[in-house]
Amino acid sequence: MWRSLKAWFTSATKPELMMWLGVLLVAGLGFVLASTSGTSSNWFCTEPCHNVHYDNTLTFNAGSHIMVSCAACHEPFEGGLIALTLAKIEVAPDLIPTVMGTYPMPLNENHSVALEMGDHFCTQCHNLDTREVNPSFGIIIDHAAHTDRGITCASCHNRVAHPEEGIEYTQEGNRHHEDWMTMDACYRCHGLEDGAQAPGSCETCHTAAFDLVPTSHDASGWYEKFGESGGHAAAYAEETSRVAQAEEWVAGLEAVEHTEAPEGLGYEQTVNTCYTCHTKQYCTDCHGGLEMPHPASFATEHGALGLENPAGCATCHARNEAEAAGTGFCNACHHPASTAGTPWVKQHFTAVAEQGAKGCFECHDPLYCETCHVSGAEAAEAFMRQNAQ
């Protein structure tokens, strides 16, 4: 065959060569145009080639961009046919793990796709110069302030084209992603503490008429003076535990990816929801100046702290106003069998007789007992007067 072609080229005239060269050029351009158009269709992206994106197709079909081509956002359009062809060539090696089934899950684990999408993908349709923005009730948003600081559209609107709410993923190992259109996600940059990239005060993002108190805070037992107030403490403990697990996950991800949190924005999961409204000092001030959360040494040193600042302990542990005036609230933990309203010192005889004195020495030095039992009636009466409450 090669000899035949060589002979043809040797005997062909120049016009014939130019004609066939033109035919080949047109055929090549036609092939490139047809292949790029075909491989840019939603059908091709989700069926024969990118079946790896089956779950992404579920979310895309549930979004508001279902009538828009995948290529409109995920492939370059400003460079024309050449840029599009080069992009196809660049991702061609991805065909191997797709066919072999060796692609990693979950897809886009560190949100790199969202953060790599420039504003021009969005503004080709959504031009803020001619578009009136209608944020949710009570929300203040200055898009220009974010754009001027290099915050792209997808840095906040990362799930707009692939909403995951109500979608159950089917691919093994896949999971839902963070939705950065939440208040916690704002605090990847905003914050109340010194050093935050952006202000975190309520009035920065909320109107005066907006109800700033979450519904959880209105629940019974969230906080009641001299009542059941464990709601907020339990919520904080749960949130702290969740954040610790998220930070461990992020540390593992960064070790594998050899990269820090994307673009310095951080990860939403590592944002403690409590600190989006309250500073750490707020907790300490509310608890009478006692450091919150309690320091690690609190279990062994809280006795001295309680004697030094009983009002700080009473904020949470006093069961009534009378207990708050003294140290009787200690009975809530240390003497749970005590009769309310009666000083423990008048009740401890029965407890010691029934359970022994071993439990007493977890807090008290054995010499402490000598105040009454050895020093005599006068010392005992003084001690009783001091601990009348």
Average per-residue pLDDT in the chain? Answer: 79
Instruction: Report the first-to-last Cα separation within the chain, whole angstroms.
Output: 110
pTM of the model: 0.71
Least confident span in 47-61, 151-165, 201-215: 47-61
What pLDDT is attached to residue 297? 80
280 contact partners, CB below 8 Å, separation of at least 6 = 193, 292
Rounded to whole angstroms, the Cα distance separating 10 from 354 reads 117
290 contact partners, CB below 8 Å, separation of at least 6 = 284, 305, 309, 312, 313, 315
What pLDDT, in 10s, does the model give residues 320-358? 777 777 767 777 677 766 766 677 777 777 878 888 877
The larger pLDDT score, comparing residue 371 to residue 158, is at 158
What pLDDT is attached to residue 163? 93
3-state secondary structure of 285: helix
pLDDT tops 60 at residue 5:
no
Rounded to whole angstroms, the Cα distance separating 126 from 122 reads 6
Share of the chain above pLDDT 70, in %: 78
**Residue 276: pLDDT band with limits 50, 70, 90:** very high
What pLDDT is attached to residue 389? 45
What pLDDT is attached to residue 127? 84
**Residue 242: pLDDT band with limits 50, 70, 90:** very high
CA-CA distances (angstroms) from residue 5 to 9, 102, 179, 289?
A: 6, 43, 61, 93
For residue 267, give both structure tokens: 């990860």
Rounded to whole angstroms, the Cα distance separating 153 from 160 reads 10
**CB–CB of 190/198 below 8 Å?**
yes
CA-CA distances (angstroms) from residue 231 to 109, 236, 304?
A: 34, 9, 27
What pLDDT is attached to residue 221? 84
For residue 205, give both structure tokens: 């993002």
Least confident span in 80-84, 180-184, 378-382: 378-382
What pLDDT is attached to residue 227? 67
Question: What average pLDDT score do residues 300-310 get?
Answer: 77
Rounded to whole angstroms, the Cα distance separating 247 from 275 reads 16
If we measure between CA atoms, which residue out of 363, 365, 300, 377 comes closest to residue 327? Answer: 363
Question: What average pLDDT score do residues 373-389 get?
Answer: 58
What pLDDT, in 10s, does the model give residues 140-173? 999 989 999 889 999 999 999 999 999 999 888 8
Rounded to whole angstroms, the Cα distance separating 36 from 75 reads 11
* Dihedral angle sign, alpha carbons of residues 205, 211, 213, 216: negative
pLDDT tops 70 at residue 200:
yes
Rounded to whole angstroms, the Cα distance separating 243 from 256 reads 20
Q: What does residue 102 show for φ and ψ, rounded to 5 degrees?
A: -105, 15
**Residue 48: pLDDT band with limits 50, 70, 90:** low
Least confident span in 4-13, 92-101, 147-156, 311-320: 4-13
**In sequence order, what E strands does the chain have?**
190-191, 198-199
